[in-house]
Structure 1
Amino acid sequence: MSKDAIPASECAHLVEFKRFLATTAEKAAAVSEEVPNRSCVTRTTSDTYKVSSEERHAELVSAIWNQLASRGCPEQFRLKLLHRATQQIEQDLCFAKECEVTGEGPPQYDLLKLQKFVASELEKFLLKLTDNSEVDRLKDFSDEPGDCKGHQKKEPLHTSAAVKNKPRKMEDRNVCLERFGEIYELQDKNTRFFGVFDGHSGSLSASYATSQLPQLLADQLKLISDHSTSAPDFYRNAFESSFLLADERFSQKKITSGTTSVCALIAKNQLYIAWVGDSKALLVGKRTQLQLVKPHKPENPDERKRIETAGGTVLHAQGQWRVNGILNVARSIGDYSLEAVIAEPDFVDVQLNEAHDFLVLGTDGLWDHVPESFVIETVYESLADPTTKLDDIPKLLIEAAKERDSQDNITAVVVLLKPRHQIENL
């Protein structure tokens, strides 16, 4: 399919999609000339883990969604492509024995090989759409089939940024799913999900939580019997079950890695926050500036008592209070060798109204060095300045943390709770 063969009368979104497919085909042809024999086999590395049959679907959804975004797929076509490609690749995996980890029991897959397989198969899936026989059906992949003239591109309502900074490795991860309800086919399609994860002893636990927690939470939300309810206890239990199951499954891998987690779910004008560890979430409005998270630190009296009751100790080491002299947070996902460190999250819920403007999630690399007042002022001033792009705002927060001598990985996520033009400067 040639870029030049696109009728001028077609919907602008469909034209953009066809150009995306044409570009995909051109890149694939160029790569195949350079590397004729590609496979999903990759070099052995420690930055991977085994994916069980229960975890596989979540990894596929995460990998495909991220691939569509990184390849530049138009937003209006990502959702249906995700669902159809996931279904196809699930079937293809039955024959992809080279991605399996040999051993007894149900099939398991090496994460990196699985991700590479997804990239390869998704490319094949997209290339099939460039066949002349498929051209007339491309509009069926749109979220807005039919005449989409006049449909405007949606204004972005979130942005994120992350830097490795001084540490040798980047162990922070984040996930921003503006279309969480649609991706996981929830009853409430407008549900939004955001998460920030600060890994330690490697990034594997943070990476695991990034892909698995959204799926686990969605599975819990689908258990709701009354779809009109917004009872906090239901969401509290859903988050708790998700965190605990993620911790249980990851701990079974016996990988020495853990992660803090702060997650935000926005549904039916309600904000639900669940967390373990010391990453934080700041809710901001004209009359409200509220830090929603009380960090799980070992020196907190309640946490110290719980740790010591569980047989652990709280010792001062390397300038901080640590569980058994090792870990400076009292709760996390992972850390299977520290029994006193648990994954049971704390939880808060807030009813959102017109006075709430935005939410900022971040790791301790941000919050330990930048005052909340500075974060609030910077975000408001940036939103009011038409020359400042939304994507630049978390970068400004990160730079401020670095200037204030943050030595850690730094992640910042800014979530708008209303369109940018409706947010006035303080």
Structure 2
Amino acid sequence: MEESHIEKGESQNKFEVAPALISVHPSQKSVAVTVGSDLRVFDLIENRPITLVDESDGPSHKDSIRAIRYGASGKLFVSAGDDKLVKIWSAESWRCLNTVCSEKRVSAVAISSDDSHVCYADKFGVVWVVELDGINEGQVLPAKKGASLLSHYCSIITSLEFSPDGRYILSADRDFKIRVTVFPKKPLEGAHEIQSFCLGHTEFVTSLAFVWNPELTQGYLLSGSGDSTVRLWDMTSGSLLDTCEVSTMAGDLESSESEPPSQVTVTDICTIPNSSLAAVAIQSFQGILLLSCDLSAHALSITKVLKIPGESFIPTSISVSKSIWMVSGASNLAGSNHPGVSRVRVISCIETEPSSIIEDEQIPGGTKLLEHLQGRVTIEESVMSAAAEAVRASMCSLLMKKQYSEEKRELRKKTRNDKKTTP
């Protein structure tokens, strides 16, 4: 009975729920949304959907996309996911410049500040690097393979970021760790110098972001986790500077006073450019929290709560440029007429200060953008609620460390795919 249960779970991997993701161009020239294997991009300058052109040697995405990213310069865009493909796009012509085949499913991506390297992490905890010779000319590159850069030793890497000055690459994992690694001059030979570890989270780390502006001599790191906290770090030393509990805020907003707030997961963090503010999405909250980072006092505090009124909108991903862009949704919804669903909302910013929720008719691109990124303008409340619950359950299943009895551990070892002999 146990063995059949294990095999059933393994056979359902391809039907795992994947959260909808959003990424906006650094200058808000375009915005991209993914739902499952579907990558949708909208041109905010010309107010039209963008048609992607893929002439690379590799196939298009055939499974859920788990990571998308614009480069800091706005010239490159990367998408990757469960089909073990990393696709590098020109964010100007929207041609696929290169397709990299990963050995395992991809969980996170990052682009160096000078667009010379793309890094991606897989479900086995290995970070790979691809060198992009000639990429700035927008030419389609010959097929490349990633070179091993570093490893977290069989722990799923959940977030990957280059520091603003390009000196470090940061990787966070399911086992509560954040590793700060010196990015080497010869990345294809591996990254062997660890700057620090940021240790303190008690559950999986979900997201990393930097509080940084040109006046700072160093950047400060923010991290979100399944332990209901956002933490502020000095990344060069690995010192924990402050911890902000968000479960209390979420609990006060959603439960009665007699019930203690339950543990919630921070799903995403984005910092507001040229400010000390950060937008935080929480798994159970219909909106975002705004955190203020007092860097002189090394302190975090919740300064504003922006709630989406009147609908079941719980952000699964957020991205910041001139405005705060949010998406809620998921793919592979079991028993639904909508196998993939996404809902996009935007918060306006006045001089870097988030102010109000923009109505659908007033957002950049209007209904034309919504039709393309959402697939439809109107989405039922029940569908959005089901998507939020499916994402919550999927994240717990994927990232929460499972505990097994000794007998069950031995049984699982016997049924591992890499231990099965081929006839």
TM-score by length of 2: 0.28
Structure ranking higher in helix proportion: 1
Q: Which has the higher contact order (CA 8 A, sep 6+)?
A: 1
Structure ranking higher in strand proportion: 2
